[in-house]
């Protein structure tokens, strides 16, 4: 069984009720797509996006707490996201790791909470430019993977997104050999750790656009993309969805 292909959009802290109009065009493309299509809006929009999507695309969230409930003002639980109709949740995005000081252990707890409620956890990892320049990329990736993936992870409940921090929102993208090297490392580490690690969906994220998507999807062990800026408008996102073969 080949890993499931997925093109996922991360709206970050963008979008409003009017932006839900984009879903129609995205869902039209998803109907004939050779991949699953997922959009992760801000948590407040999940419920209404689920209604607008009417099952034609998946809807996810961008973060959840590592606990199921409790005194965590301003946070959202995995169960609340599931109740709202989410199927996936991104955890460990580099913006969360930087803005909120999230460590691998925190990310691991969030992924475990997602799994416990039946959500697929999209676990993000990636190196800084300084780490890459110092030749530490594979070591950093391996350490984040080991520390962020919880016990009980499987190909069915876990997606890994490789997002070099220096490529996010910058228009800069690693070359094909650099992406291939990291994805090969992820694949072999997952295969060593999980009985079905060879089937875990591996996404590349960082400045994916219509113009580079096909080339990125052709790289070995790239099973799809996590897309930020280019997922906000159907006109930009649809050509990425249709680029997957």
Catalytic annotation, residues: 93, 163
By CB under 6 A, how many residues form the interface with ligand PEP? 13
**Looking at beta carbons only, is 137 or 231 nearer to ligand PEP?**
231
The span from the CA of 180 to the CA of 187, in Å, is: 10
> Least distance (Å) from ligand PEP to the CB of residue 38?
12
Q: What is the dihedral of CA 36, 203, 210, 131, to 10 degrees?
A: 160
> 188: how many CB neighbours lie within 10 A of its CB?
14
Closest residue to ligand PEP, judged by C-beta, is 228
The residues, ordered by sequence, that sit 6+ positions from 166 with a Cβ below 8 Å of its Cβ are 127, 128, 129, 132, 172, 206
> Least distance (Å) from ligand PEP to the CB of residue 224?
12
The span from the CA of 65 to the CA of 72, in Å, is: 8
229 lies in the binding site for ligand PEP (CB under 6 A): yes
**Looking at beta carbons only, is 50 or 168 nearer to ligand PEP?**
168
Contact 213/1 with Cβ under 8 angstroms? no
205 lies in the binding site for ligand PEP (CB under 6 A): yes
**Looking at beta carbons only, is 84 or 208 nearer to ligand PEP?**
208
The residues, ordered by sequence, that sit 6+ positions from 117 with a Cβ below 8 Å of its Cβ are 68, 77, 78, 79, 81, 82
Binds ligand PEP by CB under 6 A, chosen from 26, 119, 179, 226: 226
> 172: how many CB neighbours lie within 10 A of its CB?
12
**Looking at beta carbons only, is 23 or 166 nearer to ligand PEP?**
166
> Least distance (Å) from ligand PEP to the CB of residue 149?
18
Structure tokens at 52: 């607008």
Site string for ligand PEP, 160-199 (x = CB under 6 A): ---x----xx------------------------------
63 lies in the binding site for ligand PEP (CB under 6 A): no
Binding segment toward ligand PEP, per CB under 6 A, in 55-63, 144-152, 187-195, 225-233: 225-233
**Looking at beta carbons only, is 188 or 212 nearer to ligand PEP?**
212
The span from the CA of 230 to the CA of 19, in Å, is: 14
Give the distance, in angstroms, between the CA of residue 141 and the centroid of all CA atoms in the same chain: 15
Task: Summarize as ranges the residues that interact with ligand PEP (CB under 6 A).
Answer: 10, 163, 168-169, 205-208, 226-230
């Amino acid at each position: 069984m080949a890993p499931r292909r997925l093109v996922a959009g991360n709206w970050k802290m963008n979008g409003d009720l009017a932006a839900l109009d984009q879903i129609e065009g995205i869902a039209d493309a998803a109907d004939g797509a050779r991949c699953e299509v997922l959009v992760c809006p801000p948590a407040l929009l999940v419920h209404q996006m689920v209604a607008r999507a009417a099952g034609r695309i998946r809807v996810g969230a961008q973060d959840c707490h590592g606990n199921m409930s409790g005194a965590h003002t301003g946070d959202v639980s995995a169960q609340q996201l599931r109740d709202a109709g989410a199927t996936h949740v991104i955890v460990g995005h580099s913006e969360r790791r930087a803005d909120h000081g999230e460590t691998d252990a925190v990310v691991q707890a969030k992924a475990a909470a997602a799994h416990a409620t039946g959500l697929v956890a999209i676990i993000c990892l990636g190196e800084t430019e300084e780490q890459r320049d110092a030749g530490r990329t594979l070591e950093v990736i391996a350490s984040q993977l080991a520390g962020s993936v919880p016990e009980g992870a499987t190909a069915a409940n876990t997606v890994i997104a490789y997002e070099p921090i220096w490529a996010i929102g910058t228009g800069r993208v690693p070359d094909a050999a650099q992406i291939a090297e990291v994805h090969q490392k992820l694949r072999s580490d997952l295969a060593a750790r999980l009985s079905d690690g060879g089937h875990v969906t591996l996404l590349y994220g960082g400045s994916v656009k219509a113009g580079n998507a096909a080339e990125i999807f052709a790289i070995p062990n790239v099973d799809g993309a996590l897309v930020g800026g280019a997922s906000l408008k159907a006109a930009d996102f649809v050509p990425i969805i249709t680029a997957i073969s």
